[in-house]
Structure 1
Amino acid sequence: MHLKSIVTGVLLAVGAFAAAIGGAEAAAKCGASTGQAASGEPIVIGGIVSIVGPADFSSSGKAAAAYFKCLNANGGINGRPVEYMLEDDGWNPEQASQVAAKLIKDKGAVALVGNMSFIDCGANQGIYEAEDIMVVAGVGVPRDCFFQKNYAPTNAGPRVSNTKALIDLYNSYPGEIKKVVCFAPNIPNVGEWSCNGAIEWIKSKGGDGMTIAFDPGSMDATSLVLQAMAFEPDVISVSTPKEIAVPIFAAAEEQDLADKVHWMGPASLYNPDFPTAIGDYWNGKVTVDMEMNAADAGTPDMDNWLAVMDEYGSSSDPRDTFSQAGYLAARVTAETLMKLDPAKIDRPTVTAALRGVTRFESDIFCKPWYIGDAPRHNANNSGPVAMVKDGKLVAKPGCIDAEDPELADVHEYEKKIGIRQ
């Protein structure tokens, strides 16, 4: 499946924001912000990421680690420090199962936080449910990550991302959007699934769509573009990492297709280098989804995330969308645990408390995020989109609500807890 090239592209597509954002000026604020180090009995919290293997897929876990360091330097959980244990699943299902068992059974973790892996969701669903431990993940990618009672990612995921971009185009060009083609790498539970939300949504509007799944290791960009154009689409979504998308846009430019079809992509293209990589020809012609608000927005939570990374992370840790996700996962967990009696914190009380999170607000999110007692979790389903404009990705005002038919049960649950009208 050439997973290495795909994942490396995903990392490049979001990691480049480190240079674009810069550092923070204000001091980091975490927990009670006491300025006094916690010295009580540690609370063990684990995390699973993928490091050794095709690529280092651990930005979310590193951000969670930085936040917990900041928390421990500022009073911890009402005096108790968090012992954050981050484990590498090595991109291997067997190893993923081993480290999960280590954290949960051997170390007695009360929760897992900041997880970021293509492997973890599928490999460990059984133990998460059997041990009734909550995973407040930073980044979910495969479908498995969004269909578990005990796994709640703070990111949106590729399917929601694609659907939002299409909805923005549909609303921006009334009556023009009827047929959609979506390109996707052929990774099980990622590729076609990432396109299906947009395809199903346009069909619900009386339109039509198709997915073209391909092996990126043997991709012929011109053939893909010609195959898509044979469908006579109004929109083409390039649901790939940047490094795979660029040759597709180059092939489309050779065919002079910028004004013949509307072009879009999910958050994997939300990269400050993307507009330059595809060139001036595409100015004002490409819509790109954003899973969260703009990383350089300068809002209080955005600035605090950067301050936490600058003071308690490593200079080599990415300052990217995935890092934002890990920061949020750690923060919501810490703020939830601080409401508990510190002498009675254990796995059952933590699981119950996390499931009681029904309205966590941050200016990094477009709407309140939640866990709740739902059978599955995809709470980050509303966000902005950006346009390629003058060599930059410029965020459009407002937030797009993902109306993916697959989210019907999620939306119903949101009505139940008062998040949605």
Structure 2
Amino acid sequence: MNVRARRLGMLSVATATIVMMAGCSPTSSGDDAGAGPIKVGAVSSITGPAPFPDVPAAAEAVFREVNENGGIDGRTIEYLSEDDGGDPALAGQAARRLIDEEGVVALAGSASLVDCSANATVYADRGVVSIAGAGVAPACFTASHIAPVNAGGFEGYTALLYYASEQLEAERVCAVILTVPGVTDGYHDSIRRWEDLTGTSIAMVDESVAHGDDPTPAVLAARSAGCDAVVFNSSEPVAAAFMNSVKRQGQLDEAAWLTLTAAFTDDALTTLQQQDTLGLYVNSEFLPYTGSGPAVDQWRSTLEKAGAEPTSLSMGGYTSAKVLVSVLEGIDSEITRETVTDAFESLDQVDAPLLGTPFTYEGTSEADPDRATMVVQATDDGWETVSDWIHLP
């Protein structure tokens, strides 16, 4: 699989577009792919303030394995993964380049803070399906032509609030929203949903800290409010920094601390163990990657063979690619952008054993698929699964 990098104007190397290719034929149209490679794209935040490089890397691992086994009816999959660096303008440029210049038939394995918001209209206007590996922004779950395989941070945030009140029996459940432009309102919606589900009110909502800043003011606010459970949004390094502040403020044993699936990694666990801040609860949007079983074992084997990092979110990239491959294999006619989109729009469901529910594609802004999540906890012995699948009422 060849790898080539292209500059976007005068951007630095860190935000260069990385294009991962399988096959080497001339560019073909998404509407007339012929007998050449099947082009599939992705727009992801591989660099930037909240990077998700493991998600498209896992999708690439799946496509590489498909190619090694003969491709789709003898046609290889050419995977072109663009880095938007968390910049909406770059995300827009990347999507148009993939669709209008490269002629991709669909997108799979995308994971970005800004892709869905920047490109929802583009995907709808061009009739291109994006099976995102990790939906982040609210638009990922409401826009037509975008169908993430994961439950999403907002569903996860509500599930953690629900777990805190219903399973941990916390009486004063508090919410810390580490602010991120474009997604903060989604967490307010998550809180309101939890209040509607439980008939109780949140004890405190703190928005005093931006994502990536010193979290101490938020921890102090939780202490002052007498919280016995605190749900906060974070990435892997932010979660570790947050818990270190919790320890410094003497609050580690005063409340249960819960955060999102991005912190469910080997590196995060190691840091939590080293700084003696274990006990953190994290939701898992897929079967816990630390477990075993046929589905988890196959996922791990595919990633290890490709040299990709096996993380919880990488299961999203893997699953989105598997879903697309399943649909491509079911198309009896020529594989083009139009036939791929038609196939998804007529799709009932695809078995996705790493998910708590089968994958469904609605293709409308009214889509509200059933989503499920689990909860794990950081312990001395590793990540321990502490819940079954949580299907919110």
TM-score interval (norm. to shorter) = 0.7 to 0.9
Question: In 2 relative to 1, CA 220–287 (structure 1 residues): closer, same or farther, beyond 3 Å?
Answer: closer
SS, match of residue 48 in structure 1: strand
Name the residue aligned to 1:86. Answer: 81
Name the residue aligned to 2:36. Answer: 41
Shift of 1:351: 0.6
Shift of 1:65: 1.7
Is 270-279 or 289-298 further displaced after alignment? Answer: 270-279
Q: Note the aligned Cα RMSD (angstroms).
A: 2.7
Name the residue aligned to 1:357. Answer: 347
Deviations 1:78-133 (A, max 9, x none): 22222222223343323322221222122222111111222211211121111111
In structure 1, which of residues 235, 255, 265 is the aligned counterpart of residue 259 of structure 2?
A: 265
Structure with bigger helix share is 1
Name the residue aligned to 1:63. Answer: 58
- Measure, in 2, the Cα distance between the counterparts of 1:177 and 1:129: 43
Name the residue aligned to 2:316. Answer: 325
| Contact in 2 for aligned 1:184/1:192 (Cα 8 Å) | no
Check if 1:191 corresponds to 2:189. no
- Measure, in 2, the Cα distance between the counterparts of 1:217 and 1:295: 26
| Contact in 1 for aligned 2:179/2:210 (Cα 8 Å) | yes
Shift of 1:401: 1.2
Of structures 1 and 2, the one with the larger relative CO (CA 8 A, separation 6+) is 1
- Measure, in 1, the Cα distance between the counterparts of 2:369 and 2:326: 18
The one-letter code of the counterpart of 1:197 is: S
The one-letter code of the counterpart of 2:233 is: S
- Measure, in 1, the Cα distance between the counterparts of 2:47 and 2:219: 35
Shift of 1:382: 0.6
In structure 2, which of residues 90, 100, 113 is the aligned counterpart of residue 105 of structure 1?
A: 100
Deviations 1:179-199 (A, max 9, x none): 322122211232352354145
Is 237-246 or 118-127 further displaced after alignment? Answer: 237-246
- Measure, in 1, the Cα distance between the counterparts of 2:97 and 2:267: 40
Name the residue aligned to 1:370. Answer: 360
Question: In 2 relative to 1, CA 52–234 (structure 1 residues): closer, same or farther, beyond 3 Å?
Answer: closer
Name the residue aligned to 1:394. Answer: 384
Check if 1:121 corresponds to 2:116. yes
The one-letter code of the counterpart of 2:298 is: N
Shift of 1:338: 0.9
Name the residue aligned to 2:13. Answer: none
Question: In 2 relative to 1, CA 193–391 (structure 1 residues): closer, same or farther, beyond 3 Å?
Answer: farther
Shift of 1:54: 4.8
- Measure, in 2, the Cα distance between the counterparts of 1:58 and 1:286: 24
The one-letter code of the counterpart of 1:191 is: T
Trace 1:173-212 onto structure 2 (pairs within 5 A).
173=168, 176-194=169-187, 196-209=189-202, 210-212=204-206
Shift of 1:152: 0.9
| Contact in 2 for aligned 1:149/1:374 (Cα 8 Å) | yes
The one-letter code of the counterpart of 1:97 is: G
Shift of 1:246: 3.4
Question: In 2 relative to 1, CA 127–399 (structure 1 residues): closer, same or farther, beyond 3 Å?
Answer: same
TM-score (norm 2): 0.81
Question: In 2 relative to 1, CA 380–288 (structure 1 residues): closer, same or farther, beyond 3 Å?
Answer: farther
Shift of 1:331: 0.9
SS, match of residue 57 in structure 1: coil
Shift of 1:202: 3.1
Deviations 1:231-279 (A, max 9, x none): 3333211322243333443443455444543322221332345455445
| Contact in 2 for aligned 1:169/1:287 (Cα 8 Å) | no
Deviations 1:141-161 (A, max 9, x none): 122222211111112221111
Unaligned runs of 5+ in 1: 1-38, 404-421
Shift of 1:217: 5.3
- Measure, in 1, the Cα distance between the counterparts of 2:60 and 2:360: 21
The one-letter code of the counterpart of 2:296 is: M
Deviations 1:386-413 (A, max 9, x none): 123335220125211134xxxxxxxxxx
How many residues align structurally? Answer: 357
Q: Percent identity?
A: 27
Runs of 4+ deviating beyond 6 Å: none
| Contact in 2 for aligned 1:178/1:202 (Cα 8 Å) | no
Check if 1:246 corresponds to 2:237. no
Name the residue aligned to 1:77. Answer: 72
- Measure, in 2, the Cα distance between the counterparts of 1:363 and 1:79: 26
Question: In 2 relative to 1, CA 286–85 (structure 1 residues): closer, same or farther, beyond 3 Å?
Answer: closer
Shift of 1:162: 1.7
| Contact in 1 for aligned 2:289/2:312 (Cα 8 Å) | yes
